[in-house]
Amino acid sequence: MSDNLSHNCSVLLIDDELIAQDLIGDHLSRQPGIRLRYDQHAERAVDLCQETEANVVLVDLRMPGADGFDVIRMLRANADTAHVPIILLSSEDDAETKARAFALGANDYLVKWPEARELEARIRYHCAAYHARRQRDAAFVELRQREEELRASQAALHQAQKMEAIGQLTGGVAHDFNNVLQIISGNLHLLKMLALVSPQGLVRVENALAGVERGARLASHLLAFARRQPLQSAVVDLTPMLTDMDDMLGHVLGPRAQVVTDIGPQLWNIEVDVGQLNNVILNLAINARDAMNGEGTLTIRARNLDADAARLHQVNAAAGEHVPHADYVLIEIADTGVGMSEAVMQRAFEPFFTTKPTGQGTGLGLSMAYGFVKQSGGEITLQSRPGEGTCVQIYLPRNEAVAAADSPAESDTMAGGAETILVVEDEEAVRTATVAMLADLGYRVLASPDADHAAQLLESGARIDLLFTDVIMPGKLTSLELSELVKRDQPHAQVLFTSGYAEGVLTHDGKLPQGVNLLAKPYTVETLSTRIRQMLRQRAASTITAA
């Protein structure tokens, strides 16, 4: 009985005879841990049980109006009182009456008037059993919640692992693909430069170069999804960029669609690659146009979210990832299109997943946006329902620094020179085409298949004005170590890296360190010549300054 005494018992006694209160209440009121409430109104059994928070009900069998059997039925029919123990008190000591009581849901049956100590013991027993049941039920509820949380966590982990695996695969594919494209692009540009084809053949060359450009965009999108695309990040004020997008997006959406911009006042600065952010918004606008079938409203909203507001938007609770508690700028791209089902949203960020008909989409728009935003330290979420449109929410972390001044646009006009350039590239076909392009532009060109050979060339006395080196190559010496050697021995020489995939060597989380110059493969002869001339002009300026 000592265990039963540990539970407080709230007892409800329902009987039409006041003597019941005297006979039962006198003893129970003097017992520790027992609280008794007496009432004659059997028809109010459910309300009385809830008011007193009863965990044992004593009820007389024979009463005018509702009797003990009716009370059992009422209590068992209510979800809140269905499991409260009921002890039926009766002057009838026959098996049929007892059987009926137990069949209706009574927990015990006592013939009036039971001995006080026996009644107390039964009350404490049923009270303890009721508490134990409630504890068990609460434990089962908690267990189910934990299981649901575990399943949700496992699903989030599985999704994150799947996205990471796809990202690694696509990153590797994009790297090799870019090298192949560079071989094709380099030789096609050489054909143009050397005027070795007829006018009809030149048309074919231009078509092939357009195909290379499409392939380069595809590889760029894959690298963006994989979060391995080198980002030229800068601290920027988004307001001018977002405000000026109306006209461009209007042309993309067509005459039957409307573009609405809602830019909040005094947007905070963010650190981002503006060109890539433009591409993201453009791709999302194209998705919106297709979802709206060319007509509807595309809304671009932007506003500041302080750390508390960001938490309310669940930015700091991304599935399986830790996101710092910080201020954000929120960019929303919302359409009035067909919307997405829950099943489609679960896969929306996967590369090549699309609901568009065959030939009408690559399935890379959202995956590219996902990779870019993650790589920029932000979060991206989807809100959508079938028939109610889609809203893509992009959260980019605030940057306290001053926005960088706009740099003048680079010209794509080909220009050469007489300087000496060392080309280091392990892919022979890429190296041969690049050397030929630079030589045709007038440069004196040295070539090496790897960093070890290039170092020997430099140590033998070769003087250069610019090192143009691939990032990932075989050999003992890395491209970074080669660049350090050049900076040490020939401090006025410029270093330009090139790669189809530089993550982990030059870039970390996709961001280039300050002062590192990278030309992504595949590059055109115009882009190559412009970039080299720009860097050689910087070299000349620094030499004059030093003098």
pLDDT above 70: percentage of residues in the chain: 81
Using pLDDT thresholds of 50, 70 and 90, give the confidence band for residue 319.
Answer: very low
- Determine contact, residues 123/87, Cβ cutoff 8 Å: yes
**DSSP helix, strand, coil percent of the chain (3-state; round to 5):** 50, 20, 35
**β-pairing, 108-111 with 86-90?**
parallel
Q: Do the domains spanning 9-114 and 139-226 agree at the CATH topology level? A: no
Using pLDDT thresholds of 50, 70 and 90, give the confidence band for residue 320.
Answer: very low
Rounded distance, CA 283 to CA 270, Å? 21
Nearest alpha-carbon partner for 232 in 538, 532, 529, 517: 517
> Stretch 35-44: mean pLDDT, rounded?
91
What are the residue boundaries of the structural domains of the chain, listed by start?
9-114, 139-226, 234-397, 420-545
Q: What's the whole-model pTM score? A: 0.49
Rounded distance, CA 505 to CA 509, Å? 11
pLDDT at 496 over 90: yes
Domain 139-226, classified CATH 1.10.287, yes or no:
yes
Task: Supply φ then ψ for residue 305, to 5 degrees.
Answer: -130, 115
- Determine contact, residues 15/89, Cβ cutoff 8 Å: yes
Residue 545 is predicted with a pLDDT of 53
142: which residues sit within 8 A by CB, 6+ positions away? none
Greater pLDDT, 66 or 294 = 66
Rounded distance, CA 24 to CA 361, Å? 81
**Sequence letter at residue 105:** G
CATH of domain 234-397: 3.30.565.10
**Sequence letter at residue 35:** R
> Stretch 244-267: mean pLDDT, rounded?
82
Domain 9-114, classified CATH 3.40.50.2300, yes or no:
yes
Greater pLDDT, 197 or 46 = 46
Which pLDDT tens digit goes with each residue over 365-411? 687 788 888 888 888 888 998 999 999 999 999 988 887 665 554 54
> Stretch 266-281: mean pLDDT, rounded?
85
Only one residue has tokens 């997008």, namely 245
> 3.30.565.10, 1.10.10.60, 2.40.37.10, 3.40.50.2300: which CATH number matches 420-545?
3.40.50.2300
Residue 233 is predicted with a pLDDT of 74
Residue 434 is predicted with a pLDDT of 92
Rounded distance, CA 136 to CA 263, Å? 54
pLDDT above 90: percentage of residues in the chain: 35
> Stretch 281-290: mean pLDDT, rounded?
85
Which pLDDT tens digit goes with each residue over 91-101? 999 999 999 99
Residue 87 is predicted with a pLDDT of 94
Task: Supply φ then ψ for residue 318, to 5 degrees.
Answer: -65, 145
Strand partners, 380: 394
Q: Rg of the Cα trace of the chain?
A: 39
List the end-to-end C-alpha distance of the chain, in Å, as a whole number: 100
- Determine contact, residues 227/509, Cβ cutoff 8 Å: yes
